[in-house]
């Protein structure tokens, strides 16, 4: 259908260009992106938006970071760039996915110029991948629209969508809109109800603009109108996009999606999520507790933009002194989702349904999952500011070196814990938080009880405790004077330390009671004056370091890292 792309590499100018979505539909501006800083600004300020497009922009950002990097320590600079870029927006999984894939492309065995070229090729290939995925999503979604149309006797299929999951969000065609475009091209009569999508009005401003450009019949509605339309049989199906979907089928999308799903369920209207597999977070099981929800500037709610006398103006819409909360996303539970439309077909929003379409992920999703029996109280925990800042600082050093992070497939690794007081309770990073460059209080859990024999823990927090909680508990049990435990991943260091430091049996798997007992046994033979390192023989890459406090434990692993770095 010849849709222009939303982002592209201009070979003549040797720069990246993109549509500035902040000014649509009033002005169709193209801006240049020449540096990592400009790429990050484009993401944070929503010059680009939508999970797939954010991922592609991040990939180009990594290329630009490499192109502008100094020749001194290229790889350290790239690690800094990756960490900084991933911190720009927390909810869309494509961001971290693209950055980690980009980091996996570069190699210390290649020249800087060769790495730069590889990063450009990766960004271009990721863009093409998203375009191909959108086309396939459109094909499978078209079949759903066709089946409804067959019973409409020539009347339009009325489709409700929320926010913008069109080509502006996905480079070309889109996700939720792809089936609509293809249905329109096939001559199937369709009509789209376009939620305005407050507070930024992406539906009214972006989706409506796209559909209008394509000549597709549509009507803009206030966000709260959808339920009324459904009650009066004016909606045949709902199709929305996704910023992150968990393995069990929970979906994070623009705030307000959950309410549409509730209304659709109450009126027996099919509710579909259109998404590429790059938006599936294979490390998460519980969307409500585990997906970080971005809180944006309250000005997006209190101020609105509009066109007046040919000029764009900003207007205040509520009392200046009234406080504002601006959550960018909400999570729709899998039970409310009729099906997921992916590039491989339509499936149920269940672990089984997703893995039937993506069986190759079966052997990759064990890492990052809580293996113990967990008695979890979902409520906020308080961490003293001094301790929180210390956790933030020490963890950032480990992230920069890649000792805590995420693999190219999005699976996070590494965790850190502290025992602030005497007793058995300790604070630990939550399950699969390695993928986040910066953590907030919702990413930590307080482990209050544990039982090795029963393979169980009790914890409190806004996320479940790390899968390595029993291993950390084993160290604290063996050495009561220990105040911090760090678990990192580093293959080359693991290979150098294996059997040269205290090492657990290669037959013992991580996250099991057997590993906890083995670690407890080795730790009990040490004291806090030793180099307290334990190599996890049955957990490839896994290394434990611990000390009387967080700084001591961090310095230990950093010293070991630097000692063996040039061997």
Q: pLDDT tens digit string along 264-288?
A: 999 999 999 999 998 898 878 888 9
pLDDT digit string, tens, across residues 429-451: 987 788 777 888 889 999 999 98
| Res 188: pLDDT | 97
Q: What is the largest CA-CA distance in the chain?
A: 81
- 342 and 386, same structural domain? no
Closest CA to 481 of 427, 552, 386: 552
Stated as kind and residue range, the H or E segment containing 449 is: strand 444-451
Segment 449-475 mean pLDDT: 89
Instruction: Please list, in sequence order, all residues whose beta carbon lies within 8 angstroms of the beta carbon of residue 236, skipping any fewer than 6 positions away.
Output: 148, 152, 157, 158, 159, 269
pLDDT digit string, tens, across residues 323-365: 999 999 999 999 999 999 999 999 999 988 998 898 877 655 5
Instruction: Please state, rounded to an integer, the average pLDDT across all residues of the chain.
Output: 89
| Res 70: pLDDT | 79
pLDDT digit string, tens, across residues 16-73: 999 999 989 999 899 999 999 999 999 998 899 888 899 999 999 999 999 988 777 8
Q: Is residue 64 part of a domain?
A: yes
| Res 2: pLDDT | 39
Active site residues per annotation: 243
Using the 3D structure, point to which of 96, 129, 162 is the last residue of a domain. Answer: 129
pLDDT at position 1 over 90: no
Using the 3D structure, point to which of 61, 96, 129 is the last residue of a domain. Answer: 129
Segment 491-519 mean pLDDT: 88
What's the CATH number where 23 sits?
1.20.120.420
Q: Is residue 175 part of a domain?
A: yes
pLDDT at position 369 over 50: no
- 122 and 136, same structural domain? no
pLDDT digit string, tens, across residues 222-257: 999 999 999 999 999 999 999 999 999 999 999 999
What's the CATH number where 408 sits?
3.40.225.10
pLDDT digit string, tens, across residues 102-158: 988 888 888 899 999 999 999 999 999 889 999 999 999 999 999 999 999 999 999
Closest CA to 238 of 210, 273, 189, 212: 273
pLDDT at position 366 over 70: no
Q: Is residue 192 part of a domain?
A: yes
Most confident of 1-10, 333-342, 455-464, 499-508: 333-342
| Res 502: pLDDT | 93
- 234 and 215, same structural domain? yes
Distance CA 482, CA 476 (A): 6
- 177 and 97, same structural domain? no
Query: What are the CA-CA distances from residue 258 to residues 164, 181, 238, 528, 539 (Å)?
Result: 15, 25, 12, 51, 39
- 140 and 115, same structural domain? no
Domain count, the chain: 3
- 393 and 313, same structural domain? no
pLDDT digit string, tens, across residues 149-179: 999 999 999 999 999 999 898 888 899 999 9
**How many other β-carbons are positioned within 10 Å of the β-carbon of residue 245?**
32
What's the CATH number where 137 sits?
3.40.50.10470
- 193 and 91, same structural domain? no
Domain span at residue 456 reads 373-564
């Amino acid at each position: 259908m010849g849709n222009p792309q939303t982002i592209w590499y201009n070979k003549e100018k040797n720069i990246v260009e993109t549509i500035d979505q902040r000014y649509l539909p009033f002005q169709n501006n193209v801006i240049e992106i020449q540096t990592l800083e400009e790429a990050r600004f484009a993401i944070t300020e929503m010059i680009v938006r939508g999970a797939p497009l954010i991922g592609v922009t991040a990939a180009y950002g990594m290329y630009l970071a490499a192109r502008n990097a100094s020749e001194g320590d290229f790889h350290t600079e790239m690690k800094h760039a990756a960490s900084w870029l991933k911190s720009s927006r927390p909810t869309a999984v494509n961001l971290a996915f693209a950055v980690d894939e980009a980091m996996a492309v570069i190699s210390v065995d290649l020249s800087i110029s060769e790495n730069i070229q590889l990063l450009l090729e990766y960004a271009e290939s990721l863009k093409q991948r998203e375009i191909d995925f959108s086309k396939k999503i459109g094909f499978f979604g078209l079949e759903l629209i066709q089946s409804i149309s067959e019973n409409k006797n020539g009347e339009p299929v009325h489709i409700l969508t929320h926010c913008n999951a069109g080509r502006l969000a996905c480079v070309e065609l889109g996700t939720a809109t792809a089936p609509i475009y293809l249905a329109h091209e096939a001559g199937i009569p369709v009509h789209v109800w376009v939620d305005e999508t407050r507070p930024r009005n992406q539906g009214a401003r972006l989706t409506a603009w796209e559909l209008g450009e394509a000549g597709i019949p549509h009507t803009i509605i206030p966000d709260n109108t959808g339920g009324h339309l459904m009650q009066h049989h004016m909606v045949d199906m709902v199709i929305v996009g996704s910023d992150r979907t968990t393995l069990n089928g929970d979906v994070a999308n623009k705030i307000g999606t959950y309410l549409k799903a509730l209304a659709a369920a109450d009126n027996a209207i099919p509710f579909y999520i259109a998404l590429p597999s790059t938006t599936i977070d294979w490390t998460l099981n519980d969307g409500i507790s585990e997906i970080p929800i971005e809180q944006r500037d309250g000005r997006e709610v209190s101020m609105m933009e509009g066109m007046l006398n040919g000029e764009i103006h900003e207007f205040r819409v509520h009392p200046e002194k009234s406080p504002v909360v601006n959550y960018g996303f909400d999570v729709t539970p899998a039970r409310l989702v009729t099906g997921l439309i992916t590039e491989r077909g339509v499936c149920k929003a269940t672990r089984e349904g997703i893995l039937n379409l993506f069986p190759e992920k079966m052997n990759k999703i064990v890492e990052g999952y809580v293996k113990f029996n967990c008695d979890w109280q979902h409520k906020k925990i308080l961490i003293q500011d001094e301790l929180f800042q210390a956790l933030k600082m020490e963890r950032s050093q480990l992230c920069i070196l890649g000792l805590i992070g995420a693999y190219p497939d999005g699976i996070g690794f590494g965790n850190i814990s502290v025992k602030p007081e005497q007793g058995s309770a300790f604070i630990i990073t939550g399950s699969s938080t390695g993928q986040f460059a910066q953590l907030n209080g919702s990413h930590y859990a307080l482990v209050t009880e544990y039982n090795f024999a029963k393979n169980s823990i009790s914890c409190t927090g806004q996320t479940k405790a790390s899968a390595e909680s029993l291993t950390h508990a084993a160290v604290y049990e063996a050495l009561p004077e220990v105040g911090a435990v760090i678990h990192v991943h580093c293959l080359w260091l693991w290979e150098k330390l294996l059997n040269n430091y205290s090492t657990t049996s290669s037959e013992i798997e991580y996250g099991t009671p057997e590993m906890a007992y083995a670690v407890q046994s080795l730790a009990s033979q040490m004291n806090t004056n030793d180099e307290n390192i334990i190599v996890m023989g049955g957990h490839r890459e896994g290394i434990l370091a611990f000390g009387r406090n967080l700084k001591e434990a961090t310095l230990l692993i950093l010293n070991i890292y630097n000692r063996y770095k040039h061997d």
